[in-house]
Amino acid sequence: MVSKTKIEKIEPILWDRWLLIKIYCEDGTIGIGEGGVHGWQRPTKTMIEVMSEYLLGKDPHLIEHHYQWLYRSSHFMGSIVQGALSAIDIALWDIKGKRLSVPIYELMGGKTRDKVRCYMHVGGSTKDELVKSAVQASKDGFTAVRFTPYNPTTFHLHKSYSEWADDAVQRVGAVRESLGNEVDICVEIHRQMNPAESISLGKRLEQFNPFFYEDPMLPDSPAIMGDIAKQCNIPIATGERFTTIFEYQQLLEAKAAAYIRPDLCLCGGLSGSKKVSAMAEAYHVKVIPHNPLSPVSTATCIQLDASIPNFGLQEYTGESEPPKSELLKSPLELKNGYLTVPDGVGLGIEINEKSLNMPENPKVLDTPIGFDGSVQDR
């Protein structure tokens, strides 16, 4: 029987472009988490501080109770609230795993796999640069790559849809030709097209057999996304901006995605994402966690991936360069494009305390403006 303890301190930490959290218990246990409102870490930090008033003195093991209390404490939800709640939830699961001396996945039904297949981000301003990046990822052992099929710095300046679409087709075709069928290619539109455009392009890309077609439009309407899914013979992947299980419910009911993309640091932490994954399983939909954040987010994703039967792929952005490479005492093990599921307790990671001196690197507002002066989506 594990003795009881109480939460005595909560410390949100702005670290480079990310927001980490430490929850301290009276018995010396420290839980680590991360909040995932990409680019809006300062207000999320403030929300964590507001929520801390409730958590101090509470039993850290009552994870679902605390989740429900904090979630229902306001009529007004949104990404800031859910980002803060997600960070807290992850840290509480880390505490529970550490206090019970088991990995988190053991508390979520046990391990369903020993390693996690990842896709690597690749890119380039030109077609040749994109191909070179994709080939290098393949040489590094990755069996799946994801990329945007247009110039990421000038996409918002296009005047002709035909020219834009032709360029996308040429880039996807070049990557497929360079990699063959041994590597899956994942195409990310980043919400830059309207439904008609994305349907037209999707039909042209079918010949290259993409693994998925991500965010072909703004995620505002599951019904319209469902129309795209019906008319494109490419699996749709979406959901990274969603914050609650109820948004995913609408997406699944609309049959708008073959793959859902929960961000564990935004959609309610491990508690929320586990519920989302269970709903998706009932629809025969696989899970590809969104992961643009720090190694803490990656470690959290692995715990989910290891505990669900309907895991698809894991987003991986690389963690071999500073500052990411400096955050953990021992980096997560990556072999031939697969992350090894760790055996360590909790999240299975230890923070390098010296690295936490990294100053904040806040997001700068940089919403693109089109050639005609109109605002474009980021």
Write down the pLDDT at residue 21: 98
Write down the pLDDT at residue 4: 95
Write down the pLDDT at residue 257: 97
Q: Is there a single domain that holds both residue 136 and residue 90?
A: no
DSSP string for residues in 77-131? --HHHHHHHHHHHHHHHHHHHHHHTSBHHHHTT--S-SEEEEEEE---SSHHHHH
Calculate ∠ Cα 339-340-341, nearest 5°.
115
Q: Is there a single domain that holds both residue 173 and residue 289?
A: yes
Q: Is there a single domain that holds both residue 30 and residue 119?
A: no
Q: Are 354 and 11 in contact (CB under 8 A)?
A: no
pTM: 0.97
Write down the pLDDT at residue 33: 98
From the number of C-beta atoms within 10 Å of its C-beta (0-12, 13-18, 19+), residue 14 rates as middle
Q: What total of structural domains would you count in the chain? A: 2
Q: HEC profile for 236-297?
A: EEECCCCCCHHHHHHHHHCCCCCEECCECCCCCHHHHHHHHHHHHHHCCCEECCECCCCHHH
Residue ranges of the chain with per-residue pLDDT less than 50 = none
Structural domain ending residue among the three candidates 35, 69, 102 = 102
Q: Is there a single domain that holds both residue 21 and residue 140?
A: no
Q: Is there a single domain that holds both residue 265 and residue 120?
A: yes
Q: Is there a single domain that holds both residue 145 and residue 259?
A: yes
Write down the pLDDT at residue 126: 94
Question: How many helices and strands in the chain, by DSSP H and E?
Answer: 12, 13
Q: Is there a single domain that holds both residue 93 and residue 138?
A: no
CA dist., res. 248 & res. 222, Å (int): 9
Beta pairing, strands 334-335 & 338-340: antiparallel
Q: Is there a single domain that holds both residue 36 and residue 137?
A: no
Write down the pLDDT at residue 127: 96
* DSSP label at residue 375: B
Residue 171 lies in a domain: yes
Write down the pLDDT at residue 243: 94
Which residue range(s) make up the domain with 28?
A: 7-102
Residue 198 lies in a domain: yes
CA dist., res. 216 & res. 308, Å (int): 27
What radius of gyration do the chain's Cα atoms show? Answer: 21
Write down the pLDDT at residue 154: 78
Structural domain ending residue among the three candidates 52, 82, 102 = 102
- Helices 41-55 and 79-100 pack at an angle, to 10 degrees, of 50
Q: What is the CATH number of the domain that holds 120?
A: 3.20.20.120
Q: Are 211 and 236 in contact (CB under 8 A)?
A: no
Q: Is there a single domain that holds both residue 264 and residue 175?
A: yes
Write down the pLDDT at residue 38: 74
Would you state the structure tokens that stand for residue 265, as one six-digit string? 């640091």
| CB-based contacts of 280, cutoff 8 Å, min separation 6 | 248, 252, 260, 286, 287, 310
Write down the pLDDT at residue 254: 97
Would you state the structure tokens that stand for residue 323, as one six-digit string? 């500052």
Q: Is there a single domain that holds both residue 213 and residue 141?
A: yes
Residue 325 lies in a domain: yes
Structural domain ending residue among the three candidates 102, 129, 164 = 102
Q: Which of 270, 269, 317 is nearest to 291 (CA)?
A: 317
Q: What is the CATH number of the domain that holds 56?
A: 3.30.390.10
Q: Is there a single domain that holds both residue 149 and residue 292?
A: yes
Residue 333 lies in a domain: yes
Residue 294 lies in a domain: yes
DSSP string for residues in 61-86? T-HHHHHHHHHTT-S---HHHHHHHH
Residue 360 lies in a domain: no
Write down the pLDDT at residue 219: 85
Active site residues: 190, 290
Residue 65 lies in a domain: yes
Q: Is there a single domain that holds both residue 33 and residue 179?
A: no
Write down the pLDDT at residue 370: 83
* DSSP label at residue 29: -
Beta pairing, strands 338-340 & 236-238: unpaired
